[in-house]
Structure 1
Amino acid sequence: MRFIMATRTDRLAQPKPNLLRFPDRRSPEWVVSAAALKACPSQRVCSLAQPRVPVGGWQPDRPLLAPLSTAVKTAKPSPRIRHLAQPKRAKMVLTHFSVDSSTHAFGVPTTPSSRILQLASPKQVHAQHALARPVSWPVPDRVLKAVVSERVQTLARPKTHQALFEGYDPYRVSPAARAATASPRLLELSLPLPRKCKSQ
C-alpha cells in the first residue's frame, strides 16, 4: 500500500532555506576571496579593533605574598599589642555537673532562706479534690428502676424540620413577630450613625 504525503507536510519536511547565501562549510578552513584579502579597513573599524584601555586609576592586583620590609621584620611590639594579642579566656559556665555541693564555691550560701523553702514545698491538694472517676462504675438500683415521665420523653425527642418540598417556608414570619412592638432601646439602636448621615 502506498501513502501519499500531503502538500503541507511535504513543505514542512523541506530544510530551511539558506538566507545568508553561505555555502556549506564542511571544514573550519575555507577559501578567502581576493576582495577580502585586498580590503582596506575604515577608520571606524580600526578604532573598534583597538583593545580596551583600563581606567585611569586602575592598579594591578596585589600579590598574595607581599615582601615585608626590614622595619616590619625588626619591629618590637608594645605591651599593649601583646596584651591584645592574647586569646580571650572562656567564661566559666556553671552547670549541675560542675558544681560541687561540698565546697562553698563562689560564695553560694548552704542554708536556704525561709522564702526559698516556702517556694520549694510541693503544692498542697485541695480539700475538696476528688480522684478521677473510673471508666466503669455500678449503676444504682433506683436508676435502673426509674420510670421516665412524659415531659422528659417529650424533651428527649429531636426537633423535626420539614424540607422545602414538604411545604417548609423559611421566609414565613410568625403572627407574633408581626404584632410585636419595638422597645425604645431597639428603635434607638436601629437608627443610623450620625456621622454616616449626610445633611441635606
Structure 2
Amino acid sequence: MATRTDRLALPKPNLLRFPDRRSVYWLDELPTRSKNISTTAFELTPRLDQLARSKQSSRFFKESRRSPEWMVSAAALKACPSQRVCSLASPRVPVDGWQSDRPLLAPLSVAVKTAKPSPRICNLAQPKRAKMVLTHAPSVDSSTHVFGVPTPPSSRILQLASPKQVHAQHALARPVSGPVPDRVLKAVASESLQTLARPKTRQALFEGYDPYRVSPAARAATASPRLMELSLPLPRKCKSQ
C-alpha cells in the first residue's frame, strides 16, 4: 500500500488532455450499448399512467352545440321580401348638395398656369421683417437707421430701474473684532451672576443619581387656577355622556 509520501510524490494529472472540446457534453469514450434493448424503457407509476391518458367525456354529456353549417328551411328558401325589407336593403342615397372629395392632385387650368402676379401680391409674398430697436449702441444713430424706432421709457419704468435706496435708520453689521469699552473690561461680576453662571451639579447614574425621584416640594405643590384651566381638555374633544 502506497504511503502518504508516495502519493504526494506522484505528478499531477494533466487536465488539459482534451483542450479542443466543442461542448460540455463531449465524452472521452462512447457509452456501451446493450444488444438486447434498442431504446430506453421507461417505467411509469399507475398514477402517472392514469394522468397521461386523455380525459374521457362523461356518460351524461349531451351534444348541444350546433354545427357551423346550418340547414335552411324550405319556407326560407321560397320567402319573398316585403317592401320594407327591400327599402332597408337598398344603399343609402346621399343628401342633396353632397359633393365628393376633391382629388389631391387636381388638374390646373390654362388660365392658372399662365397667370402673372400683380405687384401687390409680390409685395405680400415677401417675408415679414422684424423691427429692430438699436438703443444699446450709443455710437449708432437710430434715427438714420431704416428699422430704428426709438421708444422713450415711461416714468414708471425709470422708477423701477433706479436702485433701491437704503433706509435712513439702517445700521451696518457690527464687526466681529470690535473695540471693548473700558467699563466692560473693569466690570466685576456680582455673587448672584457668579452663582447663575456656574453649571448645575448633578450626580451620575453610577454615583447613585435617580432621575425618576420626585422631590418633596413637587409632591406637596398645589396647582394654580390657571394651570387647572390649561390642563382641561378642549370642549370639542369631550364626548357628551
Q: What TM-score results when the alignment is normalised by the length of structure 2?
A: 0.35
Task: Point out the more displaced range, 76-85 or 141-150.
Answer: 76-85
Asked if structure 1 preserves the Cα contact closer than 8 Å seen for 2:132 and 2:147, the reply is: no
Over 3 Å counting, the alpha-carbon distance change for 1:91 and 1:103 in structure 2 is: closer
Unpaired runs of at least 5, structure 2 = 23-66
Note if 1:82 corresponds to 2:119. no
Asked if structure 1 preserves the Cα contact closer than 8 Å seen for 2:131 and 2:148, the reply is: no
CA distances 1:97-130 after superposition (whole Å, capped 9, x unpaired): x999768998976211121111111111011212
Task: Point out the more displaced range, 107-116 or 37-46.
Answer: 37-46
Corresponding residue number in structure 2 for 1:21: 17
- Report how far residue 152 of structure 1 moved: 1.1
Alignment size in residue pairs: 195
- Report how far residue 169 of structure 1 moved: 0.6
Distance 2:2 2:76 in 1: 46
- Report how far residue 161 of structure 1 moved: 1.9
Note if 1:7 corresponds to 2:7. no
Asked if structure 2 preserves the Cα contact closer than 8 Å seen for 1:104 and 1:110, the reply is: no
- Report how far residue 168 of structure 1 moved: 1.0
Task: Point out the more displaced range, 72-81 or 133-142.
Answer: 72-81
Distance 1:87 1:10 in 2: 101
Distance 1:149 1:173 in 2: 32
Aligned to 2:19, the other structure's residue is in SS state: coil
Aligned to 2:169, the other structure's residue is in SS state: coil
Corresponding residue number in structure 1 for 2:101: 61
Distance 2:18 2:71 in 1: 12
Greater helix share, 1 or 2?
A: 1
CA distances 1:54-91 after superposition (whole Å, capped 9, x unpaired): 99999999999999999999999999999999999999
CA distances 1:6-64 after superposition (whole Å, capped 9, x unpaired): 99999999999999999999999999999999999999999999999999999999999
Distance 1:145 1:84 in 2: 91
Q: Structure 1 runs of 4+ off > 4 angstroms?
A: 5-96, 98-109, 181-200
Answer 1 or 2: higher relative contact order, Cα 8 Å, separation at least 6. 2
Over 3 Å counting, the alpha-carbon distance change for 1:68 and 1:35 in structure 2 is: same
Cα RMSD after superposing both structures: 18.3
Corresponding residue number in structure 2 for 1:188: 229
Over 3 Å counting, the alpha-carbon distance change for 1:9 and 1:37 in structure 2 is: farther
- Report how far residue 180 of structure 1 moved: 3.6
| Structure ID, larger Rg | 2
Task: Point out the more displaced range, 127-136 or 80-89.
Answer: 80-89
Over 3 Å counting, the alpha-carbon distance change for 1:174 and 1:29 in structure 2 is: same
Over 3 Å counting, the alpha-carbon distance change for 1:46 and 1:174 in structure 2 is: farther
Task: Point out the more displaced range, 79-88 or 22-31.
Answer: 22-31
CA distances 1:116-161 after superposition (whole Å, capped 9, x unpaired): 1111111110112122333323222111111111111111111222
Distance 1:25 1:36 in 2: 76
Aligned sequence identity (%): 92
Distance 2:185 2:232 in 1: 58
Aligned to 1:54, the other structure's residue is in SS state: coil
Over 3 Å counting, the alpha-carbon distance change for 1:142 and 1:56 in structure 2 is: same
Asked if structure 1 preserves the Cα contact closer than 8 Å seen for 2:203 and 2:209, the reply is: yes
Over 3 Å counting, the alpha-carbon distance change for 1:36 and 1:88 in structure 2 is: same
Over 3 Å counting, the alpha-carbon distance change for 1:135 and 1:54 in structure 2 is: farther
Q: What TM-score results when the alignment is normalised by the length of structure 1?
A: 0.40
Distance 2:186 2:14 in 1: 105
Asked if structure 2 preserves the Cα contact closer than 8 Å seen for 1:162 and 1:168, the reply is: yes
